[in-house]
């Protein structure tokens, strides 16, 4: 590999990103017929090790997406995991990164094709998502979140992200950093690429899986560590829009955004308009875990080098 050359895993080979080309007439290209995962790996400077966070859970969810999208099943879990490790290794990354693993419909079929199924995996060096922001200002989107009656938000389907796109573009156009969608019931759903938690009277509350949200791996990690390690009461229940305006703290979470404090909703300040104490505690523990500093959670980490 020449210096600065970016390699990606493409249809079973490791190639420079420029030479990975897909057919313009593929169902993926034409109709968004692809399913994907966004993963992160964290560099542990003391151990000189890169750890992929919850690789198994991502691969399991990818298999569910493949099934729900009606693609032929051609990859084993072991293969999906190993391919991620292989391409990160090939790039010799020694820094935090984000990795897109996309399974797509190739060939010349229509939107109802079930194959041929192919994959690319593209890691990219990436630190924090909201690099310059301590917290974010969000609006309630005028767009409704897609729901299980039409297009399941549980599938990480490329086409689903056109709903995310509408919400995000509108938010940015109106001067916000991001948006929170309501679902068809009018209760809080999720962000364009993240889930939502609120804190009220020291209780952590998040919309349930039935609120038209993705079954977020970060969300379930936070539910787990907040109750088991931080001694917090955590409740999964429907959250009304007005609860956002009077919450003590709000944060968004996801693989990409990690834990992102929300400072205002529709220009209404959340709490003190700064990062709340509980959010900070969760964020600090989350970063310790993903970097491999918490022994009991090393089970969630897959080392890239050695082994
Ligand atoms: N909701 C949506 C719509 C997303 O795209 C994401 C990012 N994958 C999330 C929530 C957070 O999911 P995870 O924690 O698994 O990254």
Residue 90, phi then psi, degrees to nearest 5? -60, -30
Residue closest via CA to ligand 1's atom 7 equals 193
3-state secondary structure of 156: coil
Q: For the chain, what is the largest distance between any 2 Cα atoms, rounded to a whole number of angstroms?
A: 56
- pLDDT recorded at residue 126: 87
- The sign of the torsion formed by the CA atoms of 177, 276, 223, 197 equals negative
pTM for this prediction: 0.97
Mean pLDDT of the chain: 96
CA of 129 to the centre of ligand 1 (A): 14
Ligand 1: list residues with CB < 6 Å: 38, 164, 190, 193-195, 214, 216-219, 254-255
pLDDT beyond 80 at 2: no
CA of 168 to the centre of ligand 1 (A): 14
Higher pLDDT, 26 or 307: 26
- Give the tens place of pLDDT for each residue, 104-137: 999 999 999 999 999 999 999 988 887 777 899 9
Q: How far apart are CA 31 and CA 105, in angstroms?
A: 10
From 38, 98, 213, the mutation candidate for ligand 1 (largest count of ligand atoms within 8 A of CB) is 38
Which positions are catalytic? Answer: 156
Q: What is the DSSP string of 270-283?
A: PTTSS--HHHHHHH
**Ligand 1 closest atom vs CA 156:** 5
CA of 195 to the centre of ligand 1 (A): 6
Q: Give yes or no for a contact between 71 and 64, defined as CB atoms under 8 angstroms apart.
A: no
Helix, strand, coil abundance in the chain, percent, nearest 5? 30, 30, 40
- Give the tens place of pLDDT for each residue, 147-159: 999 999 999 999 9
From 58, 98, 255, the mutation candidate for ligand 1 (largest count of ligand atoms within 8 A of CB) is 255
CA of 182 to the centre of ligand 1 (A): 16
- pLDDT recorded at residue 130: 79
**Ligand 1 closest atom vs CA 38:** 8
- pLDDT recorded at residue 307: 65
- Give the tens place of pLDDT for each residue, 235-250: 999 999 999 999 999 9
Residue 273, phi then psi, degrees to nearest 5? 75, 20
E-strand spans in the chain? 7-10, 13-16, 34-44, 49-53, 97-105, 117-125, 136-144, 178-182, 195-200, 203-206, 233-236, 249-254, 258-265, 268-269, 301-303
- pLDDT recorded at residue 306: 87
Neighbours of 235 (CB within 10 A): 14
Q: How far apart are CA 97 and CA 88, in angstroms?
A: 9
pLDDT beyond 90 at 61: yes
Residue closest via CA to ligand 1's atom 2 equals 193
């Amino acid at each position: 590999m020449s210096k600065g050359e970016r390699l990606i895993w493409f249809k079973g080979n490791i190639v420079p990103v420029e030479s990975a080309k897909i057919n313009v007439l593929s169902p993926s290209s034409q109709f968004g017929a692809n399913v994907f995962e966004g993963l992160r790996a964290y560099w542990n400077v003391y151990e000189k090790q890169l750890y992929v966070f919850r690789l198994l859970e991502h691969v399991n969810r990818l298999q569910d997406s493949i099934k729900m999208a009606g693609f032929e099943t051609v990859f084993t879990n072991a293969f999906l995991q190993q391919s991620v490790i292989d391409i990160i290794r090939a790039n010799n990354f020694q820094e935090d990164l984000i990795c897109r693993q996309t399974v797509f419909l190739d060939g010349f079929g229509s939107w109802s094709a079930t194959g041929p199924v192919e994959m690319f995996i593209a890691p990219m060096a990436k630190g924090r998502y909201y690099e310059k922001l301590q917290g974010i200002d969000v609006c309630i989107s005028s767009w409704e979140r897609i729901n299980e009656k039409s297009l399941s938000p549980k599938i990480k389907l490329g086409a689903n992200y056109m709903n995310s796109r509408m919400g995000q573009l509108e938010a940015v156009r109106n001067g916000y950093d991001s948006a929170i969608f309501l679902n068809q019931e009018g209760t809080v759903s999720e962000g364009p690429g993240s889930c939502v938690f609120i804190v009220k009277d020291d209780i952590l509350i998040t919309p349930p899986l039935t609120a038209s949200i993705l079954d977020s791996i970060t969300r379930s990690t936070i539910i787990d560590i907040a109750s088991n390690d931080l001694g917090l009461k955590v409740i999964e229940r429907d959250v009304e829009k007005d609860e956002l305006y009077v919450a003590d703290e709000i944060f968004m979470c996801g693989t990409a955004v990690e834990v992102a404090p929300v400072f205002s909703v529709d220009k209404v300040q959340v709490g003190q308009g700064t990062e709340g104490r509980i959010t900070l505690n969760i964020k600090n523990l989350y970063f310790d875990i993903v970097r491999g500093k918490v022994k009991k959670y090393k089970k969630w980490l897959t080392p890239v080098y050695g082994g």
